[in-house]
Structure 1
Amino acid sequence: MAWSYRKRIKIIPGVHLNISRKGISTTIGVKGASLNIGPGGTYLNTSIPALGIRNRQRLSPAGAAPPVYDTPEVTTLEPERRGNIFSVAPNEVTSNDMKGVKETIIAAHRQKKELMADLEKVKSSLGLSRIKLVFSYVFLIGLVAKSVRQKIRETITAQQEAVEQINEQIDNSCMRMDVEFDADIKAKFDSLSEAFKLLSQSKKVWDVTAATSQNRVAARSAASTLVMKTEVAIAIKDIPDIKSDVNPLWLKNANGADLYFYPGFIVMYDSHDQFGIIGLDELQFDFGAVRFIEDGVVPADSKVIDRTWAKVNKNGTPDKRFKGNYQIPVVRYGRISLKTKQGMHEEYEFSNYEATESFGHALSNYIRSVS
């Protein structure tokens, strides 16, 4: 009737981001050994104070110069966009400097998965013990029954304690990230978060999945580009395997992995084993306005800046060969584009242009300050 449960769990390394004017450095590890990643390169730090050992070993050279970020003026022209717009598989986009962070997240989830399997086994044993206790009142009598029931109760108590312990271990099986900002950079990130919250209140948010040119004369249309886009959501939302005091900015992806903006990196997250991490210094970001011929309902927070016809001549006049030809509003929407050399390529449109512009400036300013 004896029962015991023992489980040794790994100590998941913590991740510390130090964000200053010199750039973003990432320290991964526990006391005694850590991996430090920053603008000056990647170093392995080893420290055993009791033996007087301290060592710092350089593992990789400093990174390349950061890209230039565009902040285009408002334009009445559509940006040139061709073909499908999507990213490669998330496992293929991880930056070299972010591989240690990814491995930490994978280790945390693997441990959580093992603990959840253990939890199910203990719960099953607990249920069986409770059944045995019920039967002990039916089939056992006298002193023997009292002795058996006492042992079963002790087993149930131990199993209940094990359930509590495992649940606590599951809760702790995650990558814990703490962030240390320079004061001025913290202010810029706070401004970015506020701008994103305002952007998330847009009446419409679309993930642009394709854009192809069309012959305006043949189509009798004022639109030179046909755009395919899907309405999506954006919000402040966490990834289960990462715990941090700083909440990430989440953008739903209609044709791939979702995007989570943390202070030092972007996580392209599809599932627990399908994700990639991209350093902000590798992000090519731009934003601006786009003219869109809106044949549907114009969102309440959008501005109509022009009008055209359903069937239009090259000079903009209505094509009188079509009966019932009608006017269509031309609306100004906001647009952002996110790319990396590793294969990330995402584009979004927003009904609220002013909110898009504020977010675009806030993100550009933040990236410049840490690159």
Structure 2
Amino acid sequence: MAWSYRKRIKVIPGVHLNFSKRGISTTIGVKGASINFSKSGTTVNTTVLGFSTRHKLSVSGPNPVSHYPGLPENQPYPLEENIFSADIHEITSQNMQGIKEAIILAQQQKKDLTSDLKKINRALSITKAKKILSYIFLYGLIKKEIPQNSDHDIKAQQEAIKQTKEMIEKCYVNLEIDFDSEIKRKFEKVYESFSKLTTSHKIWDITSAHFQDRVATRSSAGTIVSRRQVNFALRAIPYIKSDYQALYMKNANGADIYIYPTFIVMYNNENNFAIIGVNELNLYQTYTRFTETEVVPRDSKIIGQTWAKVNKNGTRDKRFKSNYQIPVVRYGNIRLSTPTGLREEYEFSNYEFTEEFGKAFREFQLEFRL
């Protein structure tokens, strides 16, 4: 019996982004879904199996660039609490669901094709074994059509393996981005400034911040933070291909963050991820006066000195004989939040790179609010 192979071929939606001063237009592959951001609101158009729907989404909520009043230098964290994002299944933006579905489709197709590839490889092994056995037991020499049919099946199976591997390599969402020249210049500035930010000698994820009684502890620091060193990079996320790699931020206590020009992916694994519109992101950049009890990073600036034990007025408490000086350094600080539940905070040893990135990102984001 001739061997047959049923290909599992689906058209994976691509995502095409158009950036202009009128807003962001996003077209999502074969489903015909498009998302348009403008000053008047967000309009979602979808066409699935010949039926089309149109509805308008409100863009109420905080402006994407928040400006908080300056905090006291010795009180950089406004709340006494742990700092982490909401559950990954709760924070996908409503108008980003189409892109999420496109990624899920690419993932499922790869799984299906990988399963098919295993079956074809198994069938190829069996066919080769049958051909060898036909010669060992001589019936292949008597009936010439038996090895000939095996050769035909082997050729078909080898071709199917080749085609399946090629299709597996194409299981991704192709992200095509067209910028207006001015917007492209501003995004490339974001890209370049983030590249610099990744070279900071130290990057920490702030996982909690708690006030402390400075009088009781005899300390100059009014806030105790828990921090874990992480890395930032330009990195591609699985199942998305783009001319621009994502701005990758490692998250010490949750899903990692990947920032693309029009959306943010919070990614644990292929089964647990969320997509948030970049217009919903609040990015607040400031600086922190940090009492550094560890080694001062080589790219940080010491802006003062304090003592391990201090009086109320900040002077050295002479009652402690082993009292010693501690450097006060200036670190960059970035807080990220969205109405849907993203909430993260990072600290950087290089304040200048932090400030440059914060400014570039705000200018890029504000382009769509003019």
TM-score (norm 1): 0.91
Q: Given that residues 70 and 287 in structure 1 are in contact (C-alpha distance below 8 angstroms), is that contact kept between their aligned partners in structure 2?
A: no
1:159-238 mapped onto 2 (5 Å cutoff): 159-238=157-236
Gaps of 5+ in 1: 48-52
* Aligned residue in 2 for 1:80: 77
Gap change, CA 1:20 and 1:299, over 3 Å in 2: same
Q: Given that residues 66 and 281 in structure 1 are in contact (C-alpha distance below 8 angstroms), is that contact kept between their aligned partners in structure 2?
A: no
State the secondary structure of the residue aligned to 1:269.
strand
For 1:264, give the aligned amino acid: T
State the secondary structure of the residue aligned to 2:29.
strand
Q: Given that residues 8 and 112 in structure 2 are in contact (C-alpha distance below 8 angstroms), is that contact kept between their aligned partners in structure 1?
A: no
**Alpha-carbon distance in structure 2 between the residues aligned to 1:46 and 1:210:** 45
Which region of structure 1 is more displaced relative to structure 2, 246-255 or 13-22? 13-22
How far off is 1:23 after superposition?
1.8
Which region of structure 1 is more displaced relative to structure 2, 33-42 or 340-349? 33-42
1:302-341 mapped onto 2 (5 Å cutoff): 302-341=300-339
1:115-134 mapped onto 2 (5 Å cutoff): 115-134=113-132
Deviations 1:235-281 (A, max 9, x none): 01111111122211100101011111101011111111211111121
For 1:12, give the aligned amino acid: I
Gap change, CA 1:96 and 1:22, over 3 Å in 2: same
How far off is 1:128 after superposition?
2.8
How many residue pairs get matched? 365
**Alpha-carbon distance in structure 2 between the residues aligned to 1:202 and 1:130:** 57
**Alpha-carbon distance in structure 2 between the residues aligned to 1:65 and 1:21:** 21
For 2:76, give the aligned amino acid: P
How far off is 1:76 after superposition?
3.8
Gap change, CA 1:144 and 1:305, over 3 Å in 2: farther
* Aligned residue in 2 for 1:50: none
1:31-42 mapped onto 2 (5 Å cutoff): 33-39=32-38, 40-42=41-43
Which region of structure 1 is more displaced relative to structure 2, 261-270 or 70-79? 70-79
1:64 aligns with 2:60: yes
1:355 aligns with 2:353: yes
**Alpha-carbon distance in structure 2 between the residues aligned to 1:197 and 1:74:** 28
How far off is 1:215 after superposition?
0.7
* Aligned residue in 2 for 1:5: 5
1:221-370 mapped onto 2 (5 Å cutoff): 221-370=219-368
1:93-112 mapped onto 2 (5 Å cutoff): 93-112=91-110
Gaps of 5+ in 2: none
Which region of structure 1 is more displaced relative to structure 2, 221-230 or 14-23? 14-23
TM-score (norm 2): 0.91
**Alpha-carbon distance in structure 2 between the residues aligned to 1:115 and 1:253:** 32
Q: Given that residues 293 and 326 in structure 2 are in contact (C-alpha distance below 8 angstroms), is that contact kept between their aligned partners in structure 1?
A: yes
Gap change, CA 1:201 and 1:152, over 3 Å in 2: same
**Alpha-carbon distance in structure 1 between the residues aligned to 2:140 and 2:160:** 31
* Aligned residue in 2 for 1:149: 147
Gap change, CA 1:290 and 1:144, over 3 Å in 2: farther
State the secondary structure of the residue aligned to 2:59.
coil
Deviations 1:12-40 (A, max 9, x none): 22211111112212122338x44343325
How far off is 1:74 after superposition?
10
State the secondary structure of the residue aligned to 2:156.
helix
Cα root mean square deviation, aligned: 2.5
How far off is 1:359 after superposition?
0.4
* Aligned residue in 2 for 1:158: 156
For 2:322, give the aligned amino acid: G
